[in-house]
Amino acid sequence: MLETVVFYALALLILGFGILVVTSRNTVHSVLFLVANFLCIAILYLSLGAEFLAVIQVLVYAGGIVVLYLFVVMLVSLRGLPDGPRNSRRRTRLGLAMAAAVLAEVSAIVVSASARPAGVPAPELAAPSLGNTEMVGWLLYTDYLVPFEVASMLLLVAMVGAIVLARKAE
Amino acid sequence: MTPITPYHYLVLSAALFTIGVIGVMLRRNIIVIFMSIELMLNAVNINLAAFSLQWHHVVGQVFGIFVIAVAAAEAAVGLGILLAFYRNKETLDIDEMTILKW
């Protein structure tokens, strides 16, 4: 019962803030709504029992990426940014039609998946003896060690690339 | 009220993904387009976490962490490109981003 109420409240908040991110005219407001959206998703992760993912969400998304966005918003001049009104009606209609097509496609998959009887029942496991963070860390450093190292390499390359791109040309 | 199943999370994630698609399709401010992409990545992560709970296995959360790492890399490089573009063109309008076209 409580789980249901929490889910619907969080879903409402997440979708509401998402719509506000996309529709708000002021880019700084968009970024702030994005923070609220990320925090609501972090709470959703908590309710899903993914504590480590929730902490990473708050640290990396709400803490790191959003600060990056705010810096860029402050660095560029947003005056005279054309948005909305100059969008031609044909383009708006085309965009909405494509978004509707994506929604139809995804919901068709969901409906067909829920209509089919579950082939493999979800395993009923005993409560894990390890905590969530320990299990995630254990998997990261054993089965997924190579992807983990590749991800760190990717972050290094991205950092170097961002510095090279943002540097003033000499 | 019915109990919350993974399909509820699937529907939520599909709706959030569609909001992101609408943002990418309709907005012309590059920063907002980037934020819409972040929304779509988060929609994927919700699915991963929901199925991680369904199957009692944390591998979904591990992949969620990889998604977050890739999103961080994407944001850093994308915003670097955006700043370089702004230095050249003095605008953030995606319609002006036609230098690669010939």
Distance CA(B76)–CA(B70), nearest Å, equals 10
User: Phi and psi (nearest 5°) for A122?
Assistant: -60, 135
Answer yes or no: are the C-beta atoms of A14 and B16 closer than 8 Å. Answer: yes
Nearest to B37 by CA among A69, A168, A130: A69
Instruction: Test B81 with A49 for CB contact under 8 angstroms.
Output: no
pLDDT reading at B102 higher than 70:
no
Question: In which band, very low, low, confident or very high, does the pLDDT at A105 lie, cut at 50, 70 and 90?
Answer: confident
More confident: A147 or A124: A147
Give the gyration radius of chain A's Cα atoms: 21
- Across the A:B interface, residue pairs with CB atoms under 8 Å apart total 220
pLDDT class for A125, splitting at 50, 70, 90? Answer: low
- Say if residue A72 is in the same domain as residue A4: yes
Q: Name the nearest CA neighbour of A84 among A23, A17, A15, A33.
A: A23
Across chain A, mean pLDDT equals 85
List the CATH number of the domain containing A33.
Answer: 1.20.120.1200
Residue A20 located in a structural domain:
yes
- Residues of A in Cβ contact (< 8 Å) with B54: 122
Residue A74: enclosing H or E segment and its boundaries? helix A66-75
- What proportion of chain A, given as a percentage, has pLDDT over 70? 85
Interface of A with B in 74-93 (CB under 8 A): 75-78, 81-83, 86-87, 91-92
State the pLDDT at residue A83: 53
Indicate if A74 and A141 belong to the same structural domain: no
Give this complex's ipTM: 0.91
Does A125 reside within a domain?
Answer: no
Residue A163 tokens read as 């510095």
Q: What is the pLDDT of residues B28-79, one digit of tens each?
A: 888 999 999 999 999 999 999 998 888 888 889 999 999 999 999 999 999 9
Three-state SS at A142: coil
Residue A152, domain extent: 130-170
Q: How far apart are CA A84 and CA A25, in angstroms?
A: 9
